[in-house]
Structure 1
Amino acid sequence: MRKPILAILPVLLIASAFTWFPTPADHHIPPPIINAAVKSRIDATLKSFPDSGKIAGVSALIFEKGKEVYYNAFGYADREAKLPMDRNTIVRIFSMTKPVTGVALMTLYEKGAFQLDDPLSKYAPEFANMKVYKGVDASGNLILEPAKRPITIRDLTRHTAGFAGNDIPALAALVKKADVTNPANTLTEMATRLASLPLEFHPGDQWAYGISVDVQAYVVERISGKPFDQYLQETIFDPLKMVNTHYLVPEADRKRFAALYNRSDAGVLTRVPDEQANFFNTKEQALKPGGWGLTTTLDDYMKFIQMLVNKGAFGKTRILKPATVQLMATNQLSDTVSKRMWLPSKGRVGFGIDFAVRTQPPANAAENNGIVGEYFWDGAASTMFWIDPVNELTAVLFTQLVPFDKVKLHKSFRDAVYGPYVP
């Protein structure tokens, strides 16, 4: 696995009667990650997944130092129609929506519209005076206590807000009844319903993945005064020319919209019925979630992450300042946050602003391969991306498989890119 390379600085020998000039060997430029052999290894790896019936189709795009160094696709976007997977295939990216929302939020941060440690209630009064679940009494009634501190914007960006999920039966029943993420809810209605529920833990105490990024979208809407989807369009999609990125897939583009496949525990691949798989993205919905819901293509998403690896700029278009991107890619979780749900399954990572951030090298060959300092995330249909700032490498991998990556596609792809694990 590639290690960060320290540049060799030329030395001026002032004390001598001559000047020493470095030879070409002294200017050591590391070889590229993606060479012909690596391309062949990635091809063989990715092709094996649809060939073995583990997935219907897969595509991948890699840029290194600002240039495309790998693209290929194997299998089908729609197996039943024999429609091949290609770089124009539109896919559901689910939680890969989250970093897009984070960038939108941080454009407002740069304008001084909020501070990360501001109380959420400053911008969304519904979330003032939150109560925290403590247990149930003998009659089954909830025992609640006041939150030790307010939820902050930073809590939203790193999943430490404490919003109730499905882990505690008494809270799960309330969550179900509140129907917070019903697509018929506006972001305002979503926030009102969510704020009526007790928190599962005190803000800042634990890392628990959930609805926080949808609340970020609500904050963007409240601060900007614009519908969230409009703000994304004007601030990110139009400037980056992400013409294939939408909540609602245009009618004319639906022939490029990939089917979604389910893999059973027995390894049988079946198509999720289109009316179920496409419901959210083929009808106009009131809800424009920050945490999921976008559809896009390989090239569109690559523009977005190229902007990030280039420290906020894509070509002549600047979306964020370099310092803001660095802040987003910096671990925000203190060591006191010991309960981290399933985050450790991603490797030895922390969490920045809407990304996981790798803080240590892989502990062993079983762990996902990667470089310290990379930041990344994935989506429920087994899509994924990562940004490796050390090597200026960005990678996007698309497939449409649920449940999430039970076939270990992500690890196989990372290993194919970086090579065998080296302790």
Structure 2
Amino acid sequence: MLRTLIALLGAALMLLPGSFVAAEPVRLDTARIDEALAQMVASGRAAGVSALVWQDGAERYFGAAGFADREADRSMARDTLVQIYSMTKPVTGVALMQLWEQGRFGLDDPLAQHLPEFAALQVLQPNGSLTPPARPVLVRDILRHTAGFGYGDDPRFRTADPLNLQNDLAEAGRRIAGLPLLFEPGAEWRYSAAVDVQALLVERLSGVPFETYVRTHVLDPLGMRETAWTHPPERLGRLAATYVRRNETLERQDDARTRALNFAPKRLTMGGAGLAGPIDDYMRFARMLLNDGELEGVRILRSSTVRLMATDHLDPRIARRHFLPSKGQVGFGFDFAVRTARPKSPQENRGAVGEFFWDGAQSTLFWVDPANRLAAVFFVQTAPFDGTLHRDIRAAVYGPDYQGPPGDERR
């Protein structure tokens, strides 16, 4: 009788909205992960890689292969500093949602209510004309990339150059606000500078510089002591070099360009990129999310806020989704992609329904998988972005045929 009740309870839990329980949790094959990392280097796709996996309250795997600095013969190591680019975005989102918890803004507030420079936005029409938007850009839009802002792939954005490192956040915001929206707010998902606008909103609402706010309220409380936009000179010897793949070979990026983000004078602290740190630091951030907003007795966000951020917020009517479908069967929450269904083909990345994740321009990746009580961080410095590395690290962690729990697939 007791066994029957337990089975019925388990089945009921699997039917709860937002609850995804793996029928049998993933068991890591550490040799398979070692082999995958070594193959990434041997194939010439990366100079060096590292991976860290946490499951069931303990570290289950760390491994590294290749070089952080090939020319200096410096191996990839746990203390290597890696530039995480867009993996900065979820950190910014957490900072902004702290202020939401304090009642500083509403998700459906017009953005211009808090940032007046965005009051006169215009929408670019197919014929080149500009028209007022049908509705204002909402704060919710900048959290889920549905505002209509551009990014580096938009020529107008490149000309305006809002993310020039010698602009401050206020100037970056003014330049973004002066550009036309590429579509009606809420009509599409398009990766954008919206997270840099989030950073400006944090700065404006908190009354302190964005970098200071994040250091005080996110990084230091989590013990991410060596993750920063601005690093002291003594850490330079631990920074990974960036390698650019050209004609099937990896060429070292100019060191001055690599160091500009973290080891040179600048005015801009971007919300969408710019953090660099060691792999263990970022795992502390991922563990906080896996543990519903708390780490080692320090609460960063309410558990309900983490669940809100990790919920798909894209209306099914949003058909145009830029490159998001390349990530697999996913929607988008607040600064995270969210897996909503099992992989549909052998070529898709492995993972579990309910996981949330993001990555960076130089091919870094992290994900949080509540169904398997697992978090993973993958570090590399390869440009341009190479999704095959993500396919391979996920296949190594889960197994190449993993399907995971069912999602909300259409019957």
The two structures have a TM-score, normalised by structure 2, of: 0.91
Which amino acid is 1:274 matched to?
D
Which amino acid is 2:241 matched to?
A
Aligned match of 1:156: 142
1:54 paired with 2:54, answer: no
- Over 2 Å off, 4+ runs: 7-12, 28-35, 51-54, 164-168, 174-177
Per-residue CA distance 1:286-317 (angstroms, 9 max, x = gap) = 11000001001110000001000000000110
Which amino acid is 2:177 matched to?
A
1:211 paired with 2:197, answer: no
Aligned match of 2:389: 409
Which amino acid is 1:144 matched to?
L
CA distance in 2, matches of 1:29, 1:191: 43
CA distance in 1, matches of 2:217, 2:374: 24
Aligned match of 2:349: 368
Tell me, yes or no, if the aligned pair for 1:34 and 1:69 is still in contact at 8 Å.
no
Report the Cα offset of residue 213 of structure 1. 0.2
1:146 paired with 2:127, answer: no
The structure with more helix, counted as a fraction of residues: 2
Tell me, yes or no, if the aligned pair for 1:165 and 1:200 is still in contact at 8 Å.
no
Matches within 5 A, 1:29-108: 33-35=26-28, 38-108=29-99
Report the Cα offset of residue 30 of structure 1. 6.8
Report the Cα offset of residue 411 of structure 1. 0.5
Which amino acid is 1:257 matched to?
L
Report the Cα offset of residue 197 of structure 1. 1.4
Which amino acid is 1:305 matched to?
A
Aligned match of 1:4: none
Matches within 5 A, 1:154-233: 154-165=140-151, 172=155, 174-233=156-215
Aligned match of 1:282: 263
Report the Cα offset of residue 214 of structure 1. 0.3
Aligned match of 2:409: none
Tell me, yes or no, if the aligned pair for 1:129 and 1:147 is still in contact at 8 Å.
no
Report the Cα offset of residue 135 of structure 1. 3.7
* Identity, % of aligned positions: 48
1:418 paired with 2:398, answer: yes
CA distance in 2, matches of 1:11, 1:417: 28
Per-residue CA distance 1:148-201 (angstroms, 9 max, x = gap) = 011011100100000134666xxx2x4333221111111111111111111111
Aligned match of 2:373: 392
Aligned match of 1:311: 292
Which amino acid is 1:143 matched to?
S
Tell me, yes or no, if the aligned pair for 1:99 and 1:355 is still in contact at 8 Å.
yes
Which amino acid is 2:306 matched to?
V
Aligned match of 1:241: 223
Report the Cα offset of residue 379 of structure 1. 0.2
Matches within 5 A, 1:320-335: 320-335=301-316
2:116 is matched with which residue: 115, 122, 125? 125
Per-residue CA distance 1:32-90 (angstroms, 9 max, x = gap) = 5244xx10111111111212332111000000011000001111000000001011000
Question: Please, which runs of 5 or more residues in structure 2 have no aligned partner?
Answer: 9-20, 404-411
Tell me, yes or no, if the aligned pair for 1:59 and 1:85 is still in contact at 8 Å.
yes
CA distance in 2, matches of 1:358, 1:183: 34
CA change 1:268–1:77 in 2 (3 A) is same
CA distance in 2, matches of 1:159, 1:29: 30
User: Any idea what SS the aligned residue of 1:415 has?
Assistant: helix
Tell me, yes or no, if the aligned pair for 2:110 and 2:138 is still in contact at 8 Å.
yes
Which amino acid is 2:398 matched to?
Y
User: Any idea what SS the aligned residue of 1:390 has?
Assistant: helix
Tell me, yes or no, if the aligned pair for 1:88 and 1:256 is still in contact at 8 Å.
yes
CA distance in 1, matches of 2:4, 2:152: 53
CA change 1:33–1:133 in 2 (3 A) is same
CA distance in 1, matches of 2:23, 2:338: 23
CA distance in 2, matches of 1:391, 1:126: 44
The two structures have a TM-score, normalised by structure 1, of: 0.89
Aligned match of 1:302: 283
CA change 1:276–1:167 in 2 (3 A) is closer
Tell me, yes or no, if the aligned pair for 2:313 and 2:332 is still in contact at 8 Å.
yes
